Amino acid sequence: MLKKDEPSSSQFCFDICQIPNVKLNASLLSENTGQLECFKNGPRAQELASGVVLLKNFINLRDQVKIIKKCRELGLGSGGFYQPGFKNGAKLNLQMMCLGKNWDPETKLYGHRRPIDDAEPPSIPVEFKHLVQKAIKTSRAFLKKTSNSIEDMLSKMALQETSNSMKDMIPKMSPDICIVNFYTTSGKLGLHQDKDESEKSISKGLPVVSFSLGDSALFLYGDKKVGNAKKVILESGDVLIFGGKSRLIYHGVAEILHETAPKLLLDETNLRPGRLNLTFRQY
């Protein structure tokens, strides 16, 4: 029998999907193949700041469905979703699950087991890692193309200036950590820095790669004061990458935008109202 202050397994059981998955019938899938494929011309890339790249619609709908279903499976098992809290009783306004290594919000440290229930974090699925590598490769190619265009323009203007190298903006990274957060419609996260990885990882500017699925989010970045921070809407399928000079950029989630998830995604997964966010980094 559990002692009074010991957590029960039911406290760590959060289902990101409301009811058992109901698969779309073949006719509906075939009618919407255009929404289920990647853009033929590739994702739309945008550089928000030096070392901060937004890949719009990077994850196609089929892969979004696979990610959600896999996160649901892992989230219901050992080391799955729970609401992180602190000794003073405060709780983060989200559900969290760590893959690869556990991150403790109280101590700001990584470890091999979760202190609250001694659970071992599940491994990062290989298919997730492949998507991360693909996103980094796409971002580096975009920045290289942009950098070359700027250098050509400066050369034509005969200016003695050079742009930052593409390698300095987005270094390559092999993720061994993934923090999965599920924000309900009232969920949010204050401005903060991701700075608890190893000194070597931080000093090299190894990027954080963030996947967004479900409802859109109002994302803040660039300054530790809300009033000075820049804003961007992250939609389902978007990938945000920040590394290099912007590795320690302040960022947060100000608001979840209700009923903005793709209907086909909800029909296929029964994802709860809210946003599923996966952030990958290398320790």
pLDDT in tens, 72-117: 999 999 999 999 988 888 888 899 999 999 999 999 999 999 999 9
In a domain, 20, yes or no: no
First-to-last CA distance in the chain?
A: 38
* CA 214/CA 283 separation, integer angstroms: 27
In a domain, 2, yes or no: no
Q: For the CA atoms of the chain, what is the radius of gyration?
A: 20
In a domain, 1, yes or no: no
In a domain, 29, yes or no: no
Would you tell me how many other CB atoms lie within 10 Å of the CB of residue 199?
8
Q: What is the CATH number of the domain that holds 163?
A: 2.60.120.590
pLDDT in tens, 157-209: 555 444 444 445 799 999 999 999 999 999 999 999 999 999 999 999 999 99
Confidence of residue 62 (pLDDT cuts 50, 70, 90): very high
In a domain, 12, yes or no: no
What is the span of the domain harbouring residue 104? 43-78+90-281
Would you tell me how many other CB atoms lie within 10 Å of the CB of residue 83?
14
* CA 34/CA 212 separation, integer angstroms: 20
Q: Where are the alpha helices (DSSP H) in the chain?
A: 26-31, 33-36, 61-75, 126-156, 166-169, 199-203, 263-269
In a domain, 6, yes or no: no
Angle, helix 126-156 to helix 61-75, in steps of 10 degrees: 140
In a domain, 28, yes or no: no
pLDDT in tens, 148-170: 654 555 455 555 444 444 445 79
Q: How many domains does the chain have?
A: 1
In a domain, 202, yes or no: yes
